[in-house]
Amino acid sequence: MGEAHLDDPSQYLSDEQVRQGIEAMFFAYRGFTRDPDRILETLAYGRAHHRAIHFIARSPSTTVNNLLGILGVTKQSLNRVLRTLIADGLVESRVGESDKRERHLRLTEKGARLERQLSDAQRARMREAYRAAGPDAVAGFRTVLEAMMEPELRRKYQRLGEQDP
């Protein structure tokens, strides 16, 4: 009764279907951040610290400016986070060799340990979701997410994926 849309692929662009996708993003994002949030809470860090740690781990020796472009925040906001991470010995900042204005960031051993802990927790949930959904669903998931990104961020995202395959 009135549920033909569930099996009718021609309806997948209907307002109702799109709206359900919007709600799915909202609810899924909560699950996405939950496990690392729990760990961060015990350390007096927040999501902003997690993001910085993640992308420094991902692109070792990245500069502050590059990180700003990926995170999409102001330098003041990022600086506050980096300052605490450096003070706590999780991140190391080195003056650039060719261009001495730049600071190159990398995780210390301690920072790498926390990164692994956060990453393991977040990946565990993701992997379980992937496993439950299967490879075809995962491919579709990635395709739709890429299509949702701003073009500029999509390029950055793709560059990250290429650098260590």
Residues that bind its own copies in the complex, under the rule CB under 8 A: 2-3, 5-6, 9, 12-13, 15-32, 34, 51, 58, 72, 119, 122-123, 125-150, 153-154, 156-157, 160-161, 164-165
Minimum gap (Å) between residue 97 Cβ and its own copies: 28
Contact residues for 73 (Cβ-Cβ < 8 A; gap 6+): 48
150, HSE (Cβ side, Cα atoms, 13 Å): 6
Beta-strand (E) ranges in the chain?
62-63, 91-95, 103-107
Minimum gap (Å) between residue 51 Cβ and DNA: 7
Minimum gap (Å) between residue 3 Cβ and DNA: 31
- Residue 16 interacts with DNA (CB under 7 A): yes or no: no
Beta-strand (E) ranges in 100-149?
103-107
Q: Number of H helices and number of E strands within the chain?
A: 7, 3
Binding stretches for DNA (CB under 7 A): 44-49, 51, 63-65, 68, 72-83, 93, 95-96, 98-103
